[in-house]
Structure 1
Amino acid sequence: MLTAPAALALIASPAVAMPKDALQAVISDPRQPLAPGCVAAVFDHGEMTQFRAAGYADVKAQRPLDENSLFYAASLSKQFTALAAATLIAKGQLSLDDDIRQYLPQMPQYAVPVTVGMLMHHSGGIRDSLSLLRLAGMENAGAASKQQALDLLYAQADTAFMPGTQYSYSNGGYLLLAEVVESVAQRDFADYAREAIFAPLGMEHSYFLNDKEPEPGSFAHGYIKENNNLDVRNSFPRFSGSGGLMLSMADLARFERDIEIERKVWTPEIARIMLTPGRFSDGSPVRDGSRDMGYGGGLHIGPYKGAYRVQHGGSAEGYKHNYVRFPERHQSFALMCNRGDWSAVERMERLIDAVAGAADAADGAGQLSAATENPAVAAAEMPKAPSGIFRSDELDATYHLMPEGKRLRVTISSPLTGKAGRTLMFERQADGSYAAQSFRLHVRAPVAAGAAAPARISISRGATGEIALHPVQKDRP
């Protein structure tokens, strides 16, 4: 087992030449010395050759970040969820081709079965669980229980698209993958991950959350910048699968060592499962269109400046992370930050360039473009602004729509919102839809002819796909 002192000893290795202050400069904020920050590491052939920390795990208590600081790992967790599933696949207890209803009979029976592989590769059309919670009116999805998230997934009458035909990143899919692991292993997912991964590798401080708060003082708080102040924001879900991993850099060093050297868990068969990109039902490779990369076991796989790259990020409100491996070079980079106003992707590119002496960082790390509006749609062609009360059984939520000029006041009521509900002001868009934050309310002309025929209303968030809202009653004058 690699002890903490041993992990620290790895830092002194000179295998990767780099100016002493280059890595520190990537993660430091000279304008705010008393602030949250990052830990960063460089690995060569499984050995940690560089480590730097800057900032505080707890600004108020002035507890500094170090190699043992636990971070909420956000979507870095997905590769460990996939790894847990891969250990069962390697044992012959699970198959990527299995219908998930074999293990989760609570799921609806869709026209095309969703397989374990589709969950792992984001090609099953499973709606995003965090988006469903928000569509059901929950403002802070981090306050939800695992059962509340699962209940919404189990209530979906259909998938966002035909399973096996598209790629759509889904936290819901990975929550279900953890449930599959739990069903096969016949124990809590967090317990199985500890027994199958963390304990064998000596990752003694890392663990998956299981609907419980992390121990106070044991982890790095997340921070966001509001009104020029850095405020604590530990608004992350307390359940696991899509996220939920509490991870330190010292423990990540133990994982990296197993990949390159020890291979206690990362066996050749496990590596094949994790690093083989998924395929759609027609045999074509699963591609993440925004990155033009394949997707394996919780890992984006594709080129970076001509090199074979395996990577994944992690993002929560107060946390930004990135973990990149170059298997052919036996070189890896990890960055974990507890401040939500920094871009881990941008800082990772600077880190890689500082080590590798690359030229400019590759393009493609910019913000996603906003939805394109079609100004050619004339106002006369747009359906009348909807009003009234609409319901979705899939969300167990009621939407009360009230037009206010070109805006639409929407109050969402559900078991997740409390009595007051949640009210949002939607702005009308050029294509006739209404938008508020990341929500989109779609209003389409009625199928039936006649002035009395109701418009078709649906709601979506991100890539969840549209969920129909059905009229309950009309507003009366």
Structure 2
Amino acid sequence: MQTFPKAVFRSLLLGLIALSFAPLALAQPAPEDLEAKVDELIGIPADDYRPGSAVLVVKDGEVLLNKGYGLANLPHRVPVTPTTVFDLASVSKQFAGFAIAKLVVDGQIDLKDDIRKYIPELPDFGSTITIDHLVHHTSGVRDWTNTLHLAGWSFDDVISFEQILNMAYRQEKLNFTPGAEYSYSNTGYNLLAELVQRVSGLSFREWTDQHIFQPLGMTDTRFLDDHTEVVPRRASGYYRAQDGNYHASPNNLMALGSSSLFSTTTDLAYWVMHLANPKPEMKAIVERMMQTSPLNDGKPNNYAFGLSVGSFRTTPSVNHSGSWASFRTYLLVLPEENLSVVVLNNYSSNPGATARTIASWFVEAPEETPEEEKAVLPDPPQLSAADLDRYTGTYRLGPGWYVTLTRQGKQLWTQATNESNFPMTLLAKDLFRIDAYSGRTMEFFAGAEGKIIHLVYSGMECPKMEQPLGAEDKALDEYTGRYVSRELLTEYEVMLDGDQLKLRHHRLGELGLSPAYGDDFVGSQWFISSVEFYRDEDGTVQGFRVTSGRARLQDFRKTSR
């Protein structure tokens, strides 16, 4: 079990149990000044017809601000107030994290337990998935937000907890070996909620009511396990359509554990004060919630128990964001400062930026390094055209994601799939920076013969591709036919529309495919980032595999039916 670096963890722990701190050097806004500044920051006039926000600021156990802006319901012009009930989306995960931490502290489960000990319906993937893997998003279990959509579901559909679990039980392969990588998985937290139900004998809603919400006095907070339930003062989610008008976002999700928690800023004040100063009987649970776990190779993973841990400016931080059905939510706790900021919006927005701006009024910015102390980089070497040509070619960053490097004069350029061409800056031999990629670098490595064989970008080893017969030179009708997924219980038809290859689904309609490299195509929708066909030894197309973000290599077999 990994914890924070020693100094950081000590600061967090002090923040969790201390009641007071030394005064900040930075002048803090008085409560009346704070309200005026937040009013200006949110920028929603009282009579404006638009969705809104609820903002909570808690400092040293005192609520400095708890205020609503805009409308919770547009047709009826119901204003947002501190008791408006929002869908917290993924901010819900920390409450599932608390449940698991409590079961661990109480000795009812062990983080090293195989999840199949409690949920045997989950397939045996050949590698053990532990509770710890699920908690820290390192299980390799695919995210249902990708798989359900590929199966033909709409996010407007009724999506029940049982349907999500059944999809997990049909999963045929993992994204990766458990513990090898971090990949955010809502499905993992749904499995944790099911674990709580099976260990406790209570529904997840009953367990969280009895062990979290009732003890803390959170009377307007509940996990919604029935999408038809009438929730008093519930806000609706809205998005602005291309016509400029606001439209309602349907919300029929019951993803217990990962989402579907409904609450108010008034109730969340009790929660963040509990995190900053837990009751004695809950102190060990909160301490457990803050622990992280490294990857198999020892690299750190900053996701704890439903919370991301890190730092904000000069102080340790704990936070989580949420996004579903036009709700955008963010919870930020700075334990060392005994400061918490919560922003809940019922429209597409960036509540994290709002919360961090408010927090910045209380926390000093880090001092800038004096110019004379900044590292001076040596002048990069001068490379000839022939030297630069060693790097040119196409490299595979991932399924449906390639980058092609070209030379123009003495300048190297990079162009990723469906992106523009950008210049590369030489830093040292075999090392380039790309300013357009947020200053990330590409480092090149050669094989025994001195030829470049791969580059490393954002920690990924990306092989240089041999020049195959491009898909545009192949007979596209080789790909046409029907393809079936046993895992997703759905099928697609691959069809040719002129010189355009398309997927057709009975619910999703026609989806375009564009050649990426060889048999790999890029889809026109986010859930089909890569559609890569595979062949038998004779070169006959046998199927394709779909990769999209948190769900990799989902298999579809070609069928003669």
Length-normalised TM-score, structure 2: 0.73
CA change 1:175–1:142 in 2 (3 A) is farther
Does 2:482 align with 1:389?
yes
- Give deviations 1:182-235, integer Å, cap 9, x for gaps: 111111111111111001101011000113334155301011111211111133
Deviation sequence 1:381-435 (CA, Å, 0-9, x none)? 33654211111111111111112245333223xxxxxxx4321322304334131
Quick one: structure 1 residues 388 and 119, their matched pair in 2 at CA, closer, same or farther if it must change by over 3 Å?
A: same
Q: Supply the distance in 1 between the matched residues of 2:231 and 2:296 (Cα, whole angstroms).
A: 46
Shift of 1:336: 0.3
**1: CA distance between counterparts of 2:117 and 2:47?**
53
Residue 260 in structure 1 maps to residue 276 in structure 2: yes
Q: CA deviation at 1:447?
A: 4.3
Paired residues of 2:278 and 2:286 also in contact (CA < 8 A)? no
Distance across 2 between alignment mates of 1:443 and 1:53: 48
Q: How far, CA to CA, are the matches of 1:117 and 1:422 in structure 2?
A: 36
Q: State the distance in 1 between where 2:542 and 2:61 align.
A: 59
> Does the alignment pair 1:304 with 2:306?
no
Structure 2, unaligned stretches of length 5 or more? 1-27, 368-398, 406-464
Any residues of structure 2 matched to 1:92-107 within 5 Å, and which?
Answer: 92-107=107-122
Match for residue 443 of structure 1 among 512, 523, 532: 532
Residues 411 and 444 of structure 1: CA distance in aligned 2, closer, same or farther (over 3 Å): closer
Maintained 8 Å contact 1:407/1:425 = no
Residue from 137, 143, 167 that aligns with 1:128: 143
**In structure 2, do the counterparts of structure 1 residues 70 and 371 end up closer, same or farther at CA, with 3 Å as the change threshold?**
farther
State whether structure 2 residue 248 is matched by structure 1 residue 232. yes
Mapped partners of 2:209, 2:305: distance in 1: 18
Shift of 1:312: 0.3
Aligned pairs for 1:26-105 (under 5 A) are 26-30=41-45, 33-105=48-120
Query: What is residue 404 of structure 1 aligned with on the other side?
Result: 497
Supply the distance in 1 between the matched residues of 2:336 and 2:287 (Cα, whole angstroms): 15
1:7 maps to what in 2? none
Q: How far did residue 46 of structure 1 move?
A: 2.6
- Partner SS, residue 143 of structure 1: coil
Matched-pair contact (CA < 8 Å) for 2:314–2:366: no
Q: By how many angstroms is 1:272 displaced?
A: 2.2
Where do 5+ consecutive residues of structure 1 fail to align? 1-12, 287-293, 361-369, 413-419
Aligned residues of 1:211 and 1:239 also touching (Cα < 8 A) = no
Counterpart contact for 1:108–1:155, Cα < 8 Å: yes
Amino acid at match of 2:486: D
Residue identity opposite 2:509 in structure 1:
T
Please tell me whether residue 314 in structure 1 is matched to residue 401 in structure 2. Answer: no
Question: What is the rounded CA distance, in whole Å, between the counterparts of 1:255 and 1:216 in structure 2?
Answer: 20
2: CA distance, partners of 1:35 / 1:260? 34
Q: Does structure 2 conserve the Cα–Cα contact (< 8 Å) formed by 1:78 and 1:243?
A: yes
Distance 1:263 1:139 in 2: 43
The match for 1:464 is 551
> After superposition, where does 1:167-186 map in structure 2 within 5 Å?
167-186=182-201
What is residue 245 of structure 1 aligned with on the other side?
261
Amino acid at match of 1:344: P
The yes-or-no answer on 1:349 pairing with 2:438 is no
1:41 partner SS:
strand
Q: CA deviation at 1:445?
A: 5.0
346-355 or 308-317, larger mean C-alpha shift: 346-355
Identify if the C-alpha distance between structure 1 residues 152 and 177 changes in structure 2 by more than 3 Å, giving closer, same or farther. Answer: same
User: 8 Å contact 1:443–1:455 — kept in the other structure?
Assistant: no
Partner Cα separation in structure 1 for residue 238 and residue 106 of structure 2? 41
What residue identity is the alignment partner of 1:465?
Answer: R
Answering whether residue 455 of structure 2 is matched by residue 426 of structure 1, we say: no
- Provide the rounded CA distance (Å) in 1 between the counterparts of 2:300 and 2:132: 13
* Aligned equivalent of 1:269, options 281, 284, 296: 284
Contact 2:156-2:250 at 8 Å conserved across structures: no
Which is bigger in relative contact order (C-alpha 8 A, separation at least 6)?
1
Q: Distance in 1 between matches of 2:307 and 2:350?
A: 19
Give the whole-Å Cα distance in 2 for the aligned partners of 1:91 and 1:329. Answer: 30
Deviation at 1:67, TM superposition (A): 0.9
Alignment RMSD (CA, Å):
2.5
Give the C-alpha shift of residue 133 in structure 1: 0.8
The correspondence of residues 137-148 of structure 1 with structure 2, limited to 5 A, is 137-140=152-155, 142-148=157-163
TM-score by length of 1: 0.85
- Partner SS for 2:296: coil
Aligned length in residues:
435
Contact 1:43 1:49 in 2 (8 A): yes
Higher strand share: 2
Contact 2:480 2:494 in 1 (8 A): yes
| Partner Cα separation in structure 1 for residue 120 and residue 292 of structure 2 | 27
* Contact 1:213/1:238, CA 8 A, preserved across alignment: no
Instruction: Give distance in 2, aligned partners of 1:357 and 1:76.
Output: 26
1:36 Cα offset (Å): 0.9
Q: Which residue of structure 2 aligns with residue 108 of structure 1?
A: 123
Distance in 2 (alpha carbons) for counterparts of 1:92 and 1:122:
22
Q: Distance in 2 between matches of 1:259 and 1:92?
A: 22
